[in-house]
């Protein structure tokens, strides 16, 4: 299943001929449906959303994000202290895993919405929620 989603991602990026600004993968094994949500926002504002539910084919759709919102997203991503958030070692038995990539920077975080202020993750959590919102998802990454 995840290979189909990856192939769909590369096809969408290839067709758009635009560099991805941000890639956000949100995964929760206990969440049904949509246990995996992958959002790729291109520099031209095309947001490709791939949702996966257990036992079903991935669903892919594209949403156009206004250019000014893509630029704001880039500014907010530039303000993130990537070294600090990459050092977050909080783990749990369940919850979500968020993997976010921006240019050559990336982080993999366990439940970034859990005690985000205390963990220094408020900025990345706000960006995650904005990516979801701009892509037509609620703040937990579920389709609206």
Burial class (CB in 10 A: 0-12, 13-18, 19+), 88: middle
Domains and CATH numbers, the chain: 2-134 (3.30.1560)
- Residue 2: per-residue pLDDT: 56
pLDDT tens digit at each of 144 positions of the chain:
555 555 555 555 554 456 789 999 999 877 778 888 999 999 999 999 998 888 889 999 999 999 999 999 999 999 999 999 989 989 887 888 999 999 999 999 999 989 999 999 999 999 999 999 999 998 888 877
SS3 57: coil
H or E element at residue 99: strand 97-102
What is the rounded CA–CA span in Å between residue 40 and residue 53? 18
């Amino acid at each position: 299943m995840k290979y189909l989603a990856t192939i769909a991602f590369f096809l969408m990026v290839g067709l758009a001929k635009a560099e991805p600004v941000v890639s956000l993968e949100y995964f929760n094994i206990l969440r049904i449906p949509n246990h995996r949500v992958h959002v790729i926002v291109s520099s031209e504002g095309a947001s490709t959303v791939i949702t996966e539910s257990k036992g079903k084919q991935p669903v892919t759709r594209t949403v156009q994000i206004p250019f000014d919102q893509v630029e704001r997203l880039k500014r907010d991503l530039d303000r993130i202290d990537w070294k600090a958030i990459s050092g977050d070692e909080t783990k749990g038995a369940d919850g979500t895993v968020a993997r976010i990539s921006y240019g050559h920077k990336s982080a993999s975080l366990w439940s970034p919405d859990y005690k985000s202020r205390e963990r220094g993750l408020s900025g990345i959590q706000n960006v995650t929620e904005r990516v979801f919102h701009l892509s037509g998802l609620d703040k937990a990454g579920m389709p609206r």
